Amino acid sequence: MTDERLIQATLHRWRDQPWSMVREAFKAEPDAWQLEGLELVAKPETERLAFKACKGPGKTACLAWIILWFLMTRPHCRIGCTSITEANIRANLWPELYTWLSKSQFCMETLAWTKTAVVNKRHPQSWWAQLRTWPKHGDQQQQADALAGLHATHVMGVVDEAGGVPQSVLVALEAILANAEHGEAKLLISGNPTHTTGPLYRACTVDRTLWKVVTITGDPDSPMRSPRISVKWAREMIAQYGRENPWVLVNVFGEFPPVSINALLGVEEVQRAMQRKLDPVQYTWFQKRLGVDVARFGDDRTVIWPRQGPMNWQPVIMRNADTTQIAGRVAHNCERWTALDDVPVERIFIDDTGHWGHGVYDQLNTGGWPAVPIQYSAPAVLPQYKNRRSHNWLKMAEGVRHGGRLPNLPEMVPELTEITYTFLGGQFVLEPKELVKERLGFSPDLADALSNTYDEPDQPALGVAFPMAGGGKVLRDRNPFTARDLEHNQPERVRVTPFAE
């Protein structure tokens, strides 16, 4: 058999057996659930296929295999790929395509990968998979228009992280299924079951008869569990938070929670707050307060966060500092800030959860400073919040969203945007910190310190009139944490910048 005939025979076999292509071209052995998905997508009657996944089972790899399989075995096919955001697809599905494509010399000789498309080298204009985006803030028609126009004898639509994608995006892609009468059309969606609305939820519930659904679980007691999920980790999550915990349902079991899990803040909202400019009259009449997050472990940071109404100044960051150094630094900065305009710091909120911050609180309290300990797990004053931590983070998010100004700290963007929330028993519940820290790879110390300053409602500063009363004075716009302060009890690292950036 000639090389060309061997190639054609291989492609013909792969056409109906995508798992064979995965094994032979990519040298990978599919997990049980991946094999189920590959078998389903190969069936002519499968037009709609959904992957409902727990955390980290390898679903993006499976999507990449299917896209490359379709490109290799369907002549002049066209594939439109999208996700919850452009950043998400560029960071996940698109590099995953290159990772698997580069593992096969045969596929590399046939296909070319770019930042926006994977194309057949001989027919790049008519044989491709394209990265497509949709306007997040556009109306339904604008979102649909961005994904329209996929027409070919063989066509496929792919939506990664479909849990939070608007239904209008899927409706636009479903138009390709009209092609099924005269050719082949397939629609694939994949994601974590975080939302009880949207395409993934509908595919698994009200539209279940239209979809083939593959549920991917990390349940340590299930014979169909993904082997990529640590049994030890899964059992720890179940033991610590309970089987009915919303984040355990999503991340361990791959099941929908009672209500949607949502991001507290978006990247765009945080970036706007970092670019926002405030006039001193907008904040100088507010009470001065500090939020202190005391480092619990060697890799964590102690953060001292100054806030005055909507104005957030650059924080002090300390590493490897003991409680005496931290308390001394807080007191020193309070003195400096007070000396600028004779308006004292009236609140110093210290995270004392687990009594990690108790030494700092004791020393400040003994010195006559207005220190307030916070127990994150303590009940919130208002019953609609699960605990103090949930209350403080939501109030912080509202402050950032509605006119707050943040210092330009790029490392703070993931801290503020990674955490999620839901409702449990009618109460607002914040995602457990341990899960956030695991995803980030570090503790969200900056965000925690800022959230501490929202433990009590904002108040006008003592002795400073409301600006609307006609007597509010504009105070000097200077940084109480200047470079000269760095010489005082400096631990390993303290990072500050002037107020006027």
pLDDT of residue 139: 61
**What residues have CB less than 8 Å from 66, skipping those under 6 apart?**
18, 37, 38, 41, 158, 188
Return phi, psi of residue 426, to 5°.
80, 0
CATH code of the domain containing 24: 3.40.50.300
pLDDT at 469 over 50: no
Give the model confidence (pLDDT) of 375-416 as tens digits.
999 999 889 999 999 999 999 999 999 999 999 999 999 999
pLDDT of residue 146: 62
Please indicate, yes or no, if residue 401 is contained in any of the structural domains.
Answer: yes
| Of 305, 325, 324, nearest in space to 314 by CA | 305
Name the CA radius of gyration of the chain, rounded: 27
- The residue-averaged pLDDT of 311-328 equals 92
Whether residue 295 sits in one domain with residue 234: no
- The residue-averaged pLDDT of 14-19 equals 96
pLDDT of residue 181: 66
Whether residue 336 sits in one domain with residue 234: no
Residue that finishes a domain, picked among 253, 283, 299: 253
pLDDT of residue 128: 95
AA identity, residue 429: V
Helix (H) or strand (E) run with residue 428 in it: strand 427-430
Whether residue 175 sits in one domain with residue 296: no
Whether residue 166 sits in one domain with residue 104: yes
Please indicate, yes or no, if residue 126 is contained in any of the structural domains.
Answer: yes
21-30, 132-141, 484-493: the lowest-pLDDT one: 484-493
Size of the chain, expressed as the number of residues it contains? 501
SS3 percent helix, strand, coil of the chain, rounded to 5, is 40, 15, 40
Give the model confidence (pLDDT) of 97-112 as tens digits.
999 999 999 999 999 9
Whether residue 360 sits in one domain with residue 240: no
Task: Yes or no: say if 327 and 385 are a contact pair by the CB < 8 Å rule.
Answer: no
pLDDT at 142 over 90: no
Q: What residues make up the domain containing 466?
A: 267-487
Please indicate, yes or no, if residue 295 is contained in any of the structural domains.
Answer: yes
AA identity, residue 320: N
Please indicate, yes or no, if residue 228 is contained in any of the structural domains.
Answer: yes
pLDDT of residue 355: 79
Please indicate, yes or no, if residue 492 is contained in any of the structural domains.
Answer: no
pLDDT at 186 over 80: yes
Residue that finishes a domain, picked among 227, 253, 279: 253
Whether residue 409 sits in one domain with residue 307: yes
Residue that finishes a domain, picked among 186, 220, 253: 253
Give the model confidence (pLDDT) of 423-466 as tens digits.
988 899 999 988 888 888 888 999 999 999 999 999 999 877 66
Please indicate, yes or no, if residue 84 is contained in any of the structural domains.
Answer: yes
- Please state, rounded to an integer, the average pLDDT across all residues of the chain: 87
- The tally of domains found in the chain comes to 2
Whether residue 237 sits in one domain with residue 305: no
Whether residue 188 sits in one domain with residue 295: no
Q: Give the strands of the sheet with 212-216, arranged side by side.
A: 111-113, 117-120, 128-131, 78-82, 154-159, 184-191, 48-53, 212-216
Task: Yes or no: say if 315 and 306 are a contact pair by the CB < 8 Å rule.
Answer: yes
Task: Yes or no: say if 311 and 403 are a contact pair by the CB < 8 Å rule.
Answer: no
- The residue-averaged pLDDT of 158-180 equals 84
Whether residue 385 sits in one domain with residue 326: yes
Please indicate, yes or no, if residue 305 is contained in any of the structural domains.
Answer: yes
Whether residue 130 sits in one domain with residue 241: yes
Helix (H) or strand (E) run with residue 185 in it: strand 184-191
CATH code of the domain containing 427: 3.30.420.240
Burial class (CB in 10 A: 0-12, 13-18, 19+), 20: middle
pLDDT at 11 over 90: yes
Whether residue 336 sits in one domain with residue 378: yes
Helix (H) or strand (E) run with residue 291 in it: strand 288-293
pLDDT at 475 over 60: no
Whether residue 221 sits in one domain with residue 324: no
Give the model confidence (pLDDT) of 330-370 as tens digits.
999 999 999 888 889 999 999 998 878 889 999 999 999 99
AA identity, residue 223: P
Confidence of residue 494 (pLDDT cuts 50, 70, 90): very low
Please indicate, yes or no, if residue 498 is contained in any of the structural domains.
Answer: no
